[in-house]
Structure 1
Amino acid sequence: MNTPDVPLTQDLVLVGGGHAHALVLRKWGMNPLPGARLTVINPGPTAPYTGMLPGHVAGHYSRDTLEIDLVRLCRFAGARLILAHATDIDRTARLITVEGQGPIAYDIASIDIGITAEMSIPGFAAHAVGAKPLDVYAQRWRDFVEAAKDGSVAPTVAVIGGGVAGCELALAMSHALRQAGVEPAVTVIEAGPQISGVGDIARRKLIRAMAQAGITLRTDARVTQIEPSQVLLNGQDPVQAALTVGAAGAFPHGWLADTDLPLIDGFIETTPDLSIKGDTYVFAVGDCAAMPFAPRPKAGVFAVRAAPVLHHNLRAALTGGPRRTFKPQKNYLKLISLGGKSAMAEKFGLAFSGPLLWRWKNRIDRAFMDKLDHLPLMKPAQIPETTALGAREIMQEKPLCGGCGAKVGGALLADALSTLDIRTNPQVVTGVGDDAAVVKLPGGGFQVLSTDHLRAMIHDPVQMTRIAAVHALGDVWAMGAAPQVALSSLILPRMSPPLQARSLREITDAARAVFDAAGATLVGGHTTIGAELTIGFTVTGTRDTMPITISGARPDDVLLLTRPIGSGVMMAAHMDGTARGRDVANTLAIMEQPQSQQAAILRDAHAMTDVTGFGLAGHVLAMCKASGLRATLCQADIPVYQGARALSDAGVASSLLQANRENAPTQGIDDPLIHDPQTAGGLLVALPQKSAEKALRQLESKGLQGWIIGTLQDGAPSVTLK
């Protein structure tokens, strides 16, 4: 007997990608809770690991080594990831406000957003950077090192704050600048009388290490103003600094103060089970939380130790089970980097330093990151021992992709549609074979009609809706028509009525925003419950003159493309967990952008189509067959999504790739990316060389891109790649 699918009934929302949440995602992926829908809200696709930041600043670790890939973690956990800032929480309505998106509803929520080191010193916002958020500081530091190397800025650095974090970063920056071939001048500015946060023995060792590195320590120094090249102090000489870093204490994110969350000095007050005071539906962990039941300094070790308790209690909150109490250790080991590959360990007032301790710290940090990077392989679905002939072979093939990678092959589709006869209706101008059907309007002009739907390739229904809407509109834009009307066609997974209402609201709001911006009206649609999320739209558009088709290309036209290729490879790699999160996020961000401006610039093209499921070669060949021409594509000129080439070279491919290859063979170089199925792909345009160059200038003036990728000539329809 088949196990029935468990309907979705509860929304769990994790705000922030801190260490505790990252570990919860890993555990969730290994044992998801049936019936719970998981959402993560975080500004970026990655989250930097605190423990390795000094090593990264010193040059020991690459950026990739430092970052927790939240995109991969969320895919592993079956969670949708919303890349935006949370800005408010309504605990009465249980809604989280998200920048640039509608509110996200929750049944249970957890907040792990870390802290900031932004300081309220005059000039700080304009001329300094906080050590946290870490990703902002890390990027600013990388840019500063490059500028110091080429001599465009002086290698002078001021660090405000003489605690462990400030000293650690000062040592790391001094080391990195020397490794870059410049002589640094680094100053640590401490308002108190001495380095804070460590015992006497450790303090002496830190002072000795800083002196050996040539770092100046200013104590009893209060900053009054930060200027572009110096830091002004009360009663002391200014500190020269082309880069000023704030590392003096931990500051809560400002938006928390505007909520009704219980706060202690701006940090969220929690109880022993990690839920917030007075609200068992909301949890808080990490540096953004205050633990009056067990006060501790802000340190990543507590977030890591809290993760198992948080994971257990989140599941308990979703299932009505008993909760556990978090008991953080009173004494913990501090491992402090000393710039080079040396570190100091402190515990119980004792301190030791040397290269051996750095190797120990390095092993601990890498083990933590390996746990989040090398995710367990999930067991594939078992194939029944006895199946109908041919079923086992299909089930053993590559898993079905989402988006256009799930389409039926072009040859099969052409055979199925070959019996249609549009000649019986004199109003139908074109039907099978072009982007959309073209119908004559009784009062003059033309209407184009098309429909498309996509099997979800990501868990976020909002971003999936944007992509599906842009994808459907591509057929209208490709014919030079003005979008007119849209109807939705939705399949939702089985879920409770409240979750149905939340999902439909999010999808409808996202779709309406895309169609409104395109000048079309979303007038309704059809919804049903099924096995998985599928989003589609039927769209119409109008044009006074005959719409652009794929049959109007002329000899000596060039081919212009408005979007990179490789989305099929990227989404296939995302499914199997081999794509870098930043690359996936970059690809999706481009895919969800409308192409109305591009279409307006290119509306006088000889021929136009949008590159979708049949791949670049398939759509070029379709244009060649319709226009009676041959095409030559220049491989070096074809844009490819960031990361897609490496994935393709490693053998990653969409499930539709082979069918596309067979349907549109190319002569010359056999590049799988030429056949890669695209979702919400670019416009492919045939027009004269001078017109193409003018179009490129117009696109650039609007901040858009385009590429001339090949030419068309007389000859038997074919595609050659050179």
Structure 2
Amino acid sequence: MHQPPLPLTRDLLLIGGGHTHALVLRKWGMTPLPGVRLTLVNPGPTAPYSGMLPGHIAGHYSRDALDIDLVKLARFAGARLVNGAVDGIDLTTRTVNVPDRPAIGFDVLSVDIGITSAMPTVPGFSEHAVPAKPLGPFASAWDHYLNTDGPASIAVIGGGVAGAEIAMAMAFALRSRGRPYAIHLLDRSKILGGLGGATARKILASLDSLDIQLHENTRIAAVTNTSVTLDNGTQIPAGFVTGAAGARPYDWLQTSGLTLHDGYITVDTRLCSSDAAIFAAGDCAHFAADPRPKAGVFAVRQAPVLYHNLRATLIGTGRLRSYRPQRDYLKLISMGGKMAVAERFGLPLSGPLMWRWKDHIDQKFMRKFTIYPVMRQPALPWPRAAEMQEALGPKPMCGGCGAKVGRGTLNAVLRDLPPHQRSDITALPGDDAALLRMGQTRQVLSTDHLRSLTDDPDTMTRITANHALGDVWAMGAQPQAALVSLVLPRLSETLTRRLLSEIMQTAHQSMSAAGAEIVGGHSSVGDELTIGFTITGLCEADPITLAGGQPGDVLILTKPIGSGVIMAADMAGDAAGHDVIQCLDLMVQSQAQASRILSCAHAMTDVTGFGLAGHLLSICEASGTEAELRLASIPLMAGALDLSERGHRSSLYPQNRSAAPHLPDTARAALLFDPQTAGGLLAAVPQDSASEVLSALIAAGYPAVAIGCLTTGMPQINAPD
């Protein structure tokens, strides 16, 4: 008997992509727990590795080398990734709050959000300084400052190991570029007071050799955009100010309802908080049994224990393990250039060999998140029916519009249907929506649904709503009413309620923003999440169809293309996380205002599953025109061209390509046939209005571009490479 997919019955939620959680996710990907829906919430697609920050500042590592790609990691772990920052936990409802989206429920929760070195009590720090933690914003700010011209003036507040490493790395980077600098290292007590005497002396000598000026036993009175003022009135010129003085927890933990110690989550030997279903690890946790310094080595050692205890809690019958921190740990401290000092038990060693040792440890850790083990896929059964392998294809089926039926197949089937008999309905082949006439009222009707391409239901609902609304906007109509159609995966009753709540809250918000109301819908249970909307819209003027294009019209596209290839590469674990997140952000961009601006268009469509070429060809066929495209002018999503050059294609690409086989066979031209999900509007605009329309679109925030024109000729597309 066929085994149906196992239902999901428990929600495991990880807040933060810190080192401990990153290792837990990797282990989870190799041995997942059946029945668990795993979610990671993090503000951004990457998590910087703190051990390599000084090397990046000094110029030894690229910015990308510093980051753990959480999109790839989540894909490997089978986790849904929510791109956002948690700002509260509700212990009563068992939910966490992420601004601008529905609350996310959990059964078991773990927190690994690190710390911040912001100094909100120092006047001017929040406005004019960049805390060293979180690392991502700091690294970006430093890259920008390093690449400016003129003498550099820098103040590093905090004279511990972290501050000294940062100051030395900055000095090395500036000296390597031949850029004059003045770097000041300030501390309220003794510089490097927490290190052994011999180790401190070696680092102090390095600070001196790099001309870093030390200010001990001093306090900061204020920070401006040009200086730091000390409590004795001394002003230190500083165009770049950072804070590395100790650490503090994030403010939102104060209202979490958990037991805290100095603002940090108190955990026992099992890494469990005062709530038996909530764990914490890394720098945001206070290990009550044996308090430890805030250092990454402890976070790494906590990962196996946290992984075991999360699984045991989710199973409900497992025994939890205890974490025992090491009594001392190896400190490897960068000294600007490719030199480092190592200290353990107060004994220092320094030199190039220590740098190579540190580099080896750091690179070994990061390889865990750049090279993932290939998990074996189940073999096809044998014996089996003929052509099963061919039907499956060489790669998994894409989500979104990449899972749709091809243009040629669809048109062939629709041509076999008898013509419409009702006089109050106009439905032209290929048009985005049908036109219904009720007296003087003109209403358009369209339906669309999408197989999920992201596991975040909020993002997927927004994408699907914009995708379905695109058919109404493309005809120049105003959205009116919507029906929701859902296929939910098999879940427990609790998880079904949570998922349905997230989807419906977001659907209501998306449709309301477009001016429509949800009036009903239908739901069922299937193998995977599918979201759809049937939408009506009202036309105040004649609807814009495919058939009105005229020779000389300028073709304007309101969004870049490339979502199909990016999401296909994401499925293969080969797309950069920041490119995936930017792609999703473009998909959720509403086209409502663009539709209003393009009301003068002679013909218009939204670019979706058939790709730019397929939808433009529909305009040409309906309008009786030819199209000339400027291939180099067509805007592309970040990363799309590189992925296309590496051979990534959506599963719908071959059928789309067959619509215009004469077009160039290049990586850039291949993106013309890339199926788009919630793509932009493609409009044929009168030539004398094109410049004004394009300016208005850009002013409204759309990355719109004129990509070609319609000409006299046979219905086809020309696009010289």
TM range (shorter): over 0.9
Query: 2 CA distance for matches of 1:663 and 1:78?
Result: 36
Deviations 1:283-307 (A, max 9, x none): 0100000001011000011111101
Which residue does 1:21 correspond to in 2? 21
Aligned equivalent of 2:334, options 318, 327, 337 = 337
User: Over residues 116-143 of structure 1, what are the superposed CA-to-partner deviations in whole Å (9 max), with x where a residue is unaligned?
Assistant: 0011211111111110011111111111
Q: Which residue of 2 aligns with 1:481?
A: 477
Aligned position for 2:189? 192
Cross-structure match for 2:423: 426
Tell me the CA shift for residue 101 of structure 1: 1.1
Counterpart for residue 275 of structure 1: 272
For the residues of structure 1 that align with 2:233 and 2:590, how far apart are their CA atoms? 56
Q: 1:233 offset after TM fit, Å?
A: 1.5
- Structure 2 counterpart of 1:527, one-letter code: S
Tell me how far apart the structure 1 counterparts of residues 369 and 486 of structure 2 sit (CA, whole Å).
34
SS in 1 for 2:450: strand
Which one-letter code corresponds to 1:293 in the other structure? A
Post-superposition Cα deviations, 1:190-212, rounded to whole Å, max 9, x if no partner, equal 11134223111110001000001
CA distance in 1, matches of 2:671, 2:377: 27
> Which residue identity does 2:227 align to in structure 1?
Q
In structure 2, give the amino acid aligned to 1:23: L
Q: Which residue of 1 aligns with 2:307?
A: 311
In the other structure, the counterpart of 1:6 is: 6
The corresponding residue for 1:296 is: 292
Alpha-carbon displacement from aligned partner over 1:353-394 (angstroms, at most 9, x marks no partner):
111111111111011111011111122231112111111222
Matches within 5 A, 1:181-220: 181-220=178-217
Q: Give the 5 Å matches for 1:304-703.
A: 304-320=300-316, 321-442=318-439, 444-668=440-664, 670=666, 671-703=669-701
**Is residue 118 of structure 2 the alignment partner of residue 126 of structure 1?**
no
SS, match of residue 276 in structure 1: coil
Alpha-carbon distance in 2 for matches of 1:668, 1:396? 24
Counterpart Cα distance in 1 of 2:684 and 2:137: 43
* Residue aligned with 1:275, SS: coil
| RMSD, aligned CA | 1.2
Conserved? CA contact 1:617–1:666, under 8 Å: no
CA contact (8 A) 1:422 1:430 kept: no
Residue 34 in structure 1 maps to residue 34 in structure 2: yes
What residue is the counterpart of 1:111 in the other structure? 111
Deviation at residue 338 of structure 1 after TM alignment: 0.4
Residue 263, structure 1, aligned to residue 264, structure 2: no
Query: What secondary structure sits across from 2:147 in the alignment?
Result: helix
Q: What letter matches 1:702 in structure 2?
A: A
Deviations 1:661-717 (CA, angstroms, capped at 9, x unpaired): 112334345421010000001100001223121111111222222100011111011
**TM-score, L = length of structure 2:** 0.98
Once residues 419 and 395 of structure 1 are traced to their aligned partners in structure 2, the CA distance between those partners, rounded to angstroms, is 27
Task: Give the Cα separation in 2 of the matches to 1:657 and 1:393.
Answer: 16
* 1:561-615 CA distance string (max 9 Å, x none): 0001100000000101000000000000110111100001001210000000001
| Percent identical residues | 52
Which secondary structure does the structure 2 equivalent of 1:546 belong to? coil
Write the distance in 2 (CA, Å) between the matches of 1:667 and 1:235. Answer: 72
Distance 1:562 1:505 in 2: 32
Range moving further from structure 2, 487-496 or 374-383? 374-383
**Separation (CA, whole Å) in 1 of partners of 2:585 and 2:528:** 23
For 2:124 and 2:21, the matched residues in 1 are separated by 34
Inter-CA distance 559–634: structure 2 relative to 1 (3 Å threshold): same
The equivalent of 1:142 in structure 2 is 143
Task: Describe the SS at the equivalent of 2:32.
Answer: coil
1 CA distance for matches of 2:352 and 2:313?
Answer: 45
Change beyond 3 A, Cα 1:628–1:194:
closer
Instruction: State the number of aligned residues.
Output: 716
Letter of the structure 2 residue corresponding to residue 126 of structure 1: E
Trace 1:213-228 onto structure 2 (pairs within 5 A).
Answer: 213-228=210-225
State whether residues 118 and 133 of structure 2, in contact with CA within 8 Å, keep that contact through their aligned partners in structure 1: yes
8 Å contact from structure 1 (residues 160, 245) kept in 2: yes
SS at match of 1:715: coil
1:421 is paired with a residue whose SS is coil
Q: Take 2:417 and 2:571, find their aligned partners in 1: how far apart are those partners?
A: 36
Per the alignment, in what secondary structure is the counterpart of residue 504 of structure 2? helix
**CA displacement at 1:546 relative to structure 2:** 2.3
Q: Give the residue type in structure 1 aligned to 2:50.
A: T
Structure 1 residues 105 and 471: CA distance shift in structure 2, 3 A: same
Counterpart CA distance in 1 for 2:616 and 2:504 is: 34
Q: Once the 2 structures are TM-superposed, how far is the Cα of residue 253 of structure 1 from its aligned partner?
A: 0.5
Is the 1:445–1:546 contact (alpha carbons within 8 Å) kept by the matching residues of 2? no
Instruction: Check the 8 A contact 1:409/1:659 in 2, yes or no.
Output: yes
1:688, 1:602 → 2: CA distance?
10
Amino acid corresponding to residue 425 of structure 1 in structure 2: R
Conserved in 2, the CA contact under 8 Å of 1:275 and 1:281? yes
> What is the deviation of 1:236?
6.6
- Give the counterpart of 1:253 among 250, 254, 272: 250
Give the match for residue 704 of structure 1.
702
- How far does residue 235 in structure 1 lie from its aligned partner after superposition? 2.9
Distance 2:599 2:74 in 1: 40
Alignment check: 8 A CA contact 2:560 2:703 kept: no
**Aligned AA (1:711):** C
Amino acid at match of 1:688: P
Amino acid in structure 2 at the alignment position of 1:359: R
Q: Look up the match of 1:62.
A: 62
Segments of structure 2 that go 5 or more residues without pairing to the other structure are none
Pick which of 184-193 and 649-658 moved more.
184-193
Contact 1:445/1:545 (CA < 8 Å) preserved in 2?
no
Paired residue secondary structure (1:424): coil
CA distance in 2 between counterparts of 1:127 and 1:667 reads 53
* In structure 1, distance between residues paired with 2:662 and 2:265: 60
In 1: Cα distance, 2:435 partner to 2:533 partner: 17
Task: Tell me how far apart the structure 2 counterparts of residues 584 and 193 of structure 1 sit (CA, whole Å).
Answer: 46
> Any conservation in 2 of the 1:164–1:196 contact (CA below 8 Å)?
no
Alignment of structure 1 residues 77-96 onto 2, 5 Å: 77-96=77-96
Counterpart-to-counterpart distance in 1, 2:269 and 2:376: 36
Structure 1 residue 440 displacement after superposition:
1.4
Whole-angstrom CA distance in 2 between matches of 1:440 and 1:332: 77
SS at match of 1:491: strand
Q: d(CA) in 2 for partners of 1:241 and 1:527?
A: 60
Distance in 1 of aligned mates of 2:405 and 2:704: 29
Report the secondary structure of 2:511's partner residue. Answer: helix
